[in-house]
């Protein structure tokens, strides 16, 4: 055999072996499970998304580890042009091939429930109870019983569920939806706690969650969240009372009629931050991502007061005198 023939045979053999290995690797990838943990995860594919765009969206949502292998799999199976937009829910275990079938067959979730930033747990429960597509398993349960069913070891459910729009298949249990919202809040809180600013006056992530809930209720304009957080962080550092009206209102519960009066500010409850120092015992609402970020990365400012200007924004002050002048100018009833 001529040397050139021998070389060609070797190269051909190498090529065949390489192709076999590539095919084996692709088959292994196709039937390997998604690494998303036990919790259901939801994501949306935007209208007009091509294969690569869809793969990138799923990677950002935490469904795929990397977009490239999924793109190769879809192209080799002739599914590159069949991706369908919509809202999807992934319930493990699920393989990459099953995910591809799901998004090319348009196996979308058609119903949803929305939990709004700043809602209380009572409002969350009402939204679930009033949703006809939900399987109602919590309607007659107390808050404590719901926490027990969800294996959540806290005394209060307030603030522990992330506000978002949750897509689900009709007949999904309200407990399953709450479990997703709880896990999402834990994930986001842990991530933001890991990136927190230095020397914050929180003993643990739960205290940050409490302050984030106050920031959520106190902020009129989104761009002021970090400054609102700075006011409360600076007050905690100095041992000043927070004097936050929303905590007082939360402590009043059903007694609140839409107006807060001087007698309400002096009536002592665990949530009255005019009569008690430090943080209230629990969050007062569901904080969204922006409020979590603000509470853990407040503005680098020495402001201690703020008062509403009447247009949704606030005036921030560093001294009592400056604050009193702002109150006189903008809102005689301002109390912060």
> What does the pLDDT read at residue 3?
54
Distance CA 200, CA 235 (A): 12
> Environment class of residue 228 by beta-carbon count within 10 Å: exposed (0-12), middle (13-18) or buried (19+)?
buried
Domain limits, the chain: 111-191, 197-330
311-331 pLDDT tens trace:
889 999 999 999 999 999 887
Regions in the chain scoring below 50 on pLDDT: 8, 10-11, 333-336
Distance CA 265, CA 260 (A): 8
Check whether the bond before 8 is cis (ω within 30° of 0).
Answer: no
> First CA to last CA across the chain, in angstroms?
94
> Environment class of residue 159 by beta-carbon count within 10 Å: exposed (0-12), middle (13-18) or buried (19+)?
buried
Angle between helices 96-105 and 67-76 (to 10 degrees): 70
State the alpha helices, DSSP H only, in the chain.
Answer: 3-31, 51-60, 67-76, 96-105, 121-129, 143-149, 174-194, 205-218, 225-238, 245-252, 262-266, 289-296, 320-330
Give me 253's structure tokens.
Answer: 């519960």
């Amino acid at each position: 055999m001529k040397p050139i023939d021998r070389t060609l045979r070797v190269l051909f053999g190498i090529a065949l072996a390489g192709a076999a290995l590539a095919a084996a690797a692709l088959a292994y990838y196709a039937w390997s499970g998604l690494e998303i943990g036990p919790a259901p995860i939801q994501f949306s594919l935007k209208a007009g998304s091509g294969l690569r765009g869809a793969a990138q969206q799923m990677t950002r949502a935490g469904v795929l580890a990397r977009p490239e292998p999924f793109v190769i799999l879809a192209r080799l199976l002739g599914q590159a042009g069949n991706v369908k937009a919509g809202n999807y829910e992934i319930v493990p275990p699920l393989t990459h091939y099953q995910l591809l079938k799901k998004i090319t067959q348009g196996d979308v979730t058609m119903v949803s429930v929305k939990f709004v930033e700043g809602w209380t747990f009572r409002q969350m429960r009402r939204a679930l109870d009033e949703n006809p597509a939900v399987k109602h398993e919590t309607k007659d349960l107390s808050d404590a019983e719901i926490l027990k069913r969800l294996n959540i070891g806290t005394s209060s459910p307030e603030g522990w569920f992330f506000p978002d729009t949750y897509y689900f298949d009709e007949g999904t249990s309200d407990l399953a939806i709450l479990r997703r919202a709880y896990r999402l809040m834990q994930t986001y809180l842990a991530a933001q706690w890991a990136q927190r600013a230095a020397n914050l006056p929180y003993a643990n992530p739960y205290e940050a969650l409490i302050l984030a809930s106050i920031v959520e209720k106190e902020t009129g304009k989104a761009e002021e969240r970090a400054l609102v957080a700075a006011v409360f962080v600076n007050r905690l550092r100095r041992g000043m009372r927070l004097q936050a009206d929303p905590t007082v209102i939360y402590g009043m519960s059903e007694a609140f009629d839409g107006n807060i009066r001087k007698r309400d500010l002096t009536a002592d409850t665990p949530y009255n931050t005019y009569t008690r120092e430090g943080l209230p015992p629990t969050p007062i609402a569901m904080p969204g991502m922006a409020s979590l970020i603000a509470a853990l990365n407040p503005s680098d400012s020495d402001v201690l007061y703020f008062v509403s200007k009447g247009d949704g924004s606030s005036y921030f002050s560093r001294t009592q005198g400056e604050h009193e002048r702002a109150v006189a100018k903008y809102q005689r009833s301002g109390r912060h």
